[in-house]
Structure formats: structure tokens, C-alpha cells
Amino acid sequence: MFSESLIRLKEKNLMREIKNRNSPQGSRILIDGENYINFSSNDYLGLANHPHVIESAQKVIATFGFGSGASRLLCGGSILHDELEKKTAEFKGTESALIFNSGYSANTGIIPAIADEGDVIFSDELNHASIVDGCRLSKAKKIIYRHKDIGHLSELIKKENTARKIVITDSVFSMDGDIAPLKEIYDLCVTLNYSLSTPNFLLYIDDAHGTGVLGSGKGALAHFGIKPEPWIIQMGTFSKALGSFGAFAAGSKSTIEWLLNTARSFIFSTALPSCAAAASIAALEVIEREPDILNKLWSNREQAVHGIIKLGYDIMGSETPITPVRTGTVEEALRISRHLMKNGIFAPAIRPPSVKEPRIRITVTAAHTAEDIESLIKALSL
């Protein structure tokens, strides 16, 4: 039925392909019997395999079993879910938090719940696909502003006379590795909210790649020294730097209560297994107890970026461990990615429609050694 469409994808070199690991996630992986140094994961702190994370999940499997059997509202959750929510709120400096099953389900559940008919959403043009889909599910009007362009955002906002306006942005852009100008966006919202008895601006931040990476691990607001105001909603994931699974919304008590009552992906989906909540709690504990992991992540990132730039590559404005390397064409992206694989390096080619401009997406983690990064640089000197 779709064979002709598939042929067209193949002709354009745009067929997607799954690679199955035969090893744990980590800086070294095994695929089809071959070992690779892995520069493709979002496991920025190497916590997917941290002994404390594994042990905590195992203990909870032994006591709570695996499946959760029902949605949170139907008793699918356990005291571990509650503990994780309290810990997340404390970590993010908010009154309250709510767990979602994934970052995708958080964005597609939260956005339609906070932005209704008559409201207006302002969304950065490079926001993650799950935000785009969340916006599509919302009945609000959607307006796209140019990537990180505060002037454009402010101009568009001033043209709208609606009850509620919601600015939505990734904190760290997942394919570009640059950071949103959150301080300027925050200041804009403060100015526009000023003198109103009820603030009519909401700021929704997807901190999937900021949590565990920026602000000593606490995320983008901490990085910019921004107070978690009641009109800011922080969404984040446990699946990236925290090496676990699932996601969260963190905000004021009333925001979280509203989400619990209206976010459809929360209400109508089976709760995460308790062991996933236990793994996330353990990961947050590791970040608090072992701040050196973050130092290692950032010094590894410095080493990699220095070497990549020295070879003459354009890293497309990256400011974080997500390091895209511009390739110009899809064919060149595929060629470089295959060349890297032949040299024992796994770093995927990212092609349209995931991004407009093809690239190799290299993610550096705290688990890499200096030798791993040297091998990457050597393999990139084509």
C-alpha cells in the first residue's frame, strides 16, 4: 500500500533505519557484533548504567513488581510516584510536580490543557516535534516566531489582544544544541504581565535537554538565575540526562492540579512502572551527591568542540553537549556517518524532515574518556 511512497523516500536517501544494540546504553555499544564508541545517546551523565540507579530500580521491582496495571487516577501509581513528584518539585524549586509517561506525552497532554480556544500560543520555529504536536492538539491560535528572535516574538505578541498568551520554547534545542534566550523571554513576559492583577502570560519551557545539564543539573531556570514564578511551567524528562524514563511538569500547585484534572495523556494512560520512578529518584540523588559528573560532562564537551572546530567543521551555534556538525547535503551526512561507523564511532546522520539542514548529531557525555573523544576527532579528520 505504501510501497511507492517508500520507494520515493529511498530515492531521496531519507529512509529511516533502526539499529538494535546488543549491549547496555553507554559510551561503548555493540551493534551487529561490532563495538562502537557511542556519540548518539542523550544519556549525558552516563546515569542509565549508574549502580545506584540500577540497584534502586531492582529493589523496587522485587518489592512492587513490574507493571503498574492502571492509570495514576485508577491506582496505577505507587508511593514511588508520589516521592518522585515531591523530589522533582524540590529539585526544580516549584510548589508541585506531576509525572508523565514520556516527554512526548507530556507536551501533547500539557499544551492542549493550558492553551484553549481564544488563547494564543507563540512557539519558537525550532521547537521539538512533541511541542508542535501538542500545539496541533490545542484549540488555541498558533503563531510561530523566528528561532530565538526576541524582537520578532515581542512584535507578534503586541499584535494579539487575547485573554491568555502562552510562550513556548525548548530550553536547549535538541538538534542544534543552542540555548533559548530565556532571560530576555522572561523579562518580556514580566514587562507585559506588569500592572495586571492576573498575569495573562504563561511561559512554558521544555527543559528536556537542560535538566541534568544546565544550572548545576537543576536546569535552564537555574542556569539563568530565573525564579520559578507561578506563571512559568517547566516540563522536563527523566529519559535523557537522568538516564531513566518518563517526564514531568513542575509549577504552581494550581497549575499541577489543573493538569491532573485535564491533561488527557496523563488521565488516559497507564502509569509508569514504579521501578522507573525509583530509577529517576536515584538519578536525582546522584546529581546532588556527585557534582563532579557535571564537571566531567562540560570538560568533555570542551575537548570535543575544540577538536571539531579545529578541523574546520561548523557546529551550528551549539552551546551544549549536543554538537551538530553541518554537512551541507543529505548524501554528505550519510557518507560521514558511515565513515565514522567504519572507524568505530557511532554518530547518526540527521536528515529532513527531522531538521531543515542535514547534519551529524554528536552528543558528548560524562561517560566518555579523553581517548574516546580523541578517537572521534581522528575519525572526523577525513
Ligand X SMILES: Cc1ncc(COP(=O)(O)O)c(C=O)c1O
| Contacting residues toward ligand X, per CB under 6 A | 102-104, 107, 128, 130, 170, 174, 206, 208-209, 237, 239, 247
Of 174, 244, 265, 280, catalytic: 174
Residue type, 281: I
Q: Do residues 78 and 277 make contact, with C-beta atoms less than 8 angstroms apart?
A: yes
Work out how close the CB of 103 gets to ligand X at its nearest, in angstroms, rounded to a whole number: 2
Is 174 an active-site residue? yes
Residue nearer to ligand X on the CB measure, 174 or 300: 174
In angstroms, give the least distance from the CB of 105 to ligand X.
7
- Distance, CA of 344 to CA of 110 (rounded, Å): 41
Q: Least Å distance between CB 102 and ligand X?
A: 3
Cβ closer to ligand X: 280 or 375?
A: 280
- Closest listed residue to residue 375, CA positions, set 361, 359, 362: 362
**Shortest CB 188 distance to ligand X, Å:** 21
In whole angstroms, how close is the CB of 215 to ligand X at the nearest point? 16
Q: Got the DSSP string for 11-78?
A: HTT-------BSS-SSSEEEETTEEEEE-----TTSGGG-HHHHHHHHHHHHHH-S---SBGGGT---
Question: Is the Cβ of residue 348 or residue 379 nearer to ligand X in the bound state?
Answer: 348
Closest to ligand X by CB, 205 vs 376, is 205
Q: Choosing from 50, 218, 240, 368, which is the catalytic residue?
A: 240
Catalytic site includes residue 306: no
Which three three-digit cell numbers place residue 303?
575537548
Asked if 149 contacts 125 with a C-beta cutoff of 8 angstroms, the reply is no
In Å, what is the CA distance from 309 to each residue of 317, 326, 347, 381?
A: 11, 11, 17, 11
Q: Rounded to the nearest 5°, which phi and psi values hold at 216?
A: 55, 30
- Residue nearest to ligand X according to CB distances in the complex: 103
CA atoms within 13 A on the CB side of 30: 4
Is 240 a known active-site residue? yes
Q: Which residue reads 535552564 in cell numbers?
A: 220
Nearer to ligand X, 107 or 363 (CB): 107
Residues with a catalytic annotation lie at 174, 209, 240
